[in-house]
Structure 1
């Protein structure tokens, strides 16, 4: 019992056991020390002086019987009183133990609540527990030190991602300009043109990879303040319209059920990229003349985006890892053109940054089902508030 449950419960049980144990020892000592004290019979019950020896012996036996009865009654009353005292002590010990446990553990509960409120967006906050230099304050100071190191690590990581992206784009731009100069020369060699085409393709892939890194870092750190009202239905229709040539080239059938009620609040740029990545994944890893179904809906508690696609049968264990960077399925997915392995990991990061959920499900018939759930928002309330502010 002591190994399970909360610390408060264990503290209460230990306190009650110790309190009751000391009470039992005290009562036993009282019983032993009071065992020689017996009440004498009342004077009115003492018989008259005996006339002979037999009468005296009979009176003595009578007095002994009376003393035995008095002793038995006293023992009975003492046992009843001690049992009542134990019951009262048990109740008081549990009550006092519970009150003391709450009092002692109250700073720990405050530290736990404050730590839960601190996330990547407010790592600058500290517990700042005041009071005597005891174990609780030492624990709070340790947590504050950990938060300070985490904040410094996050800041350094964001600075590194931003600086590295800009530093890498400069040589890439130089290489691209050198290629343009080489190709622009009069009558360039065929090998030069072929090499320039391959290098440009790789440069485009590197640019795409850098964009993915920056977007992934931004989504993972929640570093966006452009929250606005966004319709998942409009984003889905826009993503399908932008990839219409690729859909037609692959002969894919599209079933779109994008409702107007699927409104959420967040970064329009990130949410648009999230929907595009899900749609791009369904197109790029689909089979020829396959199908895609895109649906958005709302049930009051949240909005959903569901994208299903056909294809080969996939293993659910490997599908569960697609939300991690550079995770792909099979050689066909690894060799997809323009793929960086960041698409669904970016989706997972954007969904998490907006307080939503992502479910990747391998369809038994083949293909993949992607379901994104986000908190819902009411557009009419925002319009009313905007009118009030205006």
Structure 2
């Protein structure tokens, strides 16, 4: 049974229905009581009967009968009033129950629309409410929401196409510029200033290329369908990511502690998941202090597989850390010691985790540094496979 919350439309509808019923019942009860003669009838006042004789005795008997009749009428009126009040009380309770049922029935289409709308997100904007029935206000509301979803779907699709097309189209002039720089610096007798300028241009072109690649991955993770979903072992992805970045770890003299537990698969796009793990490890390596440390661990927690990467460093503000999952948000060059990052790393991690039904959690460690935690749904391995 659906309960009517305080202040909800259903509660207000029930109170209104009960109030109207009670006012009508009270008015009908008052009218009935007035038409019944008020509080009862009293013996009519007349002339004094003769003091004696047979006629006087008859008048006394008539007066006695009138008094008895008036008492019976008064008792009947009191019984009628008490019975009417009791019936009104019972009907008041019944009106509350009936009003509650009617409120649920009247508001049922709105609840259906609300539940269906909540299930629709940026990943399934192609779904529609599709409410059928008479052309009333509820159907007009559902059709309006369907139209809004259609416009949102077209807008998201146009945004995805723009990001993908722009990123692909920009790669051609970037490749041309990189080739031109290589040709210019490869000529004999090039001045040292030209060589230095060529190196700076190559660095900037590489950054733009990485930025475009980040845009493509972010657009795919946020709004693209997961293609080729398969079972992936997070521990193996982490081990491979740490191994691939061994040179950077050695250059910054970082100590890495690994606690990777096997046998905890997840299901998803292997390429996106590999990029997600790589970005987290990159963040721990690049945004770290010299002679620092990194702790990486994977474990199962309930129905989730968790990847936790912790780094040391100065004490951070949690409000600043919460913004890191947004594109182009950083904690400043003083923390990173480098401007090689594009500002998309953790936003890509958050988008890929959300696309796989997981979530990214960022926590500023009280003793200093950052704790990055990714929770993903665990995929149980059948017993015949384990054996």
TM-score (norm 2): 0.90
Which 5+ residue runs of structure 2 have no aligned equivalent? 44-51
- Note closer, same or farther for the CA distance 1:245–1:30 as it changes in structure 2 (3 Å cut): same
Q: 1:120 aligns with which of 119, 122, 135?
A: 122
Cα distance in 2 between the residues matched to 1:339 and 1:154: 27
RMSD: 2.5
1:168-183 paired onto structure 2 within 5 Å = 168-183=170-185
**Partner in structure 1 of residue 48 of structure 2:** none
- Do the aligned residues in 1 keep the contact of 2:126 with 2:153 (CA within 8 Å)? yes
**Partner in structure 2 of residue 284 of structure 1:** 286
92-101 or 274-283: which moved more? 92-101
Deviation at 1:299, TM superposition (A): 2.7
Q: 1:100 aligns with which of 97, 102, 105?
A: 102
Cα distance in 2 between the residues matched to 1:265 and 1:123: 23
**Partner in structure 1 of residue 34 of structure 2:** 32
Cα distance in 1 between the residues matched to 2:192 and 2:67: 132
Aligned residues: 375
**Partner in structure 2 of residue 371 of structure 1:** 373
Which 5+ residue runs of structure 1 have no aligned equivalent? 42-49, 385-390
**Partner in structure 2 of residue 186 of structure 1:** 188
173-182 or 120-129: which moved more? 120-129
Deviation at 1:6, TM superposition (A): 2.4
Q: Deviations over 1:262-314 (max 9, x none)?
A: 32111111111111111111111222211111111113321111111100111
1:1-390 paired onto structure 2 within 5 Å = 4-35=6-37, 51-52=53-54, 55=57, 58-59=60-61, 62-333=64-335, 336-380=338-382
Q: 2:31 is paired with a residue of what secondary structure?
A: helix
Q: Deviations over 1:76-128 (max 9, x none)?
A: 21122112211231132123212222221122122122222322233222222
Deviation at 1:381, TM superposition (A): 7.1
- Note closer, same or farther for the CA distance 1:72–1:163 as it changes in structure 2 (3 Å cut): same
Q: Deviations over 1:330-380 (max 9, x none)?
A: 332465242111111111111121221221111111100111111111133
277-286 or 122-131: which moved more? 122-131
TM-score (norm 1): 0.89
Deviation at 1:257, TM superposition (A): 0.8
Q: 2:361 is paired with a residue of what secondary structure?
A: strand
- Do the aligned residues in 1 keep the contact of 2:253 with 2:290 (CA within 8 Å)? yes
- Note closer, same or farther for the CA distance 1:382–1:359 as it changes in structure 2 (3 Å cut): farther
- Note closer, same or farther for the CA distance 1:149–1:6 as it changes in structure 2 (3 Å cut): same
- Do the aligned residues in 1 keep the contact of 2:33 with 2:81 (CA within 8 Å)? no
Cα distance in 2 between the residues matched to 1:39 and 1:30: 15
Q: Deviations over 1:127-153 (max 9, x none)?
A: 222222211111011101101110110
Cα distance in 1 between the residues matched to 2:245 and 2:75: 98
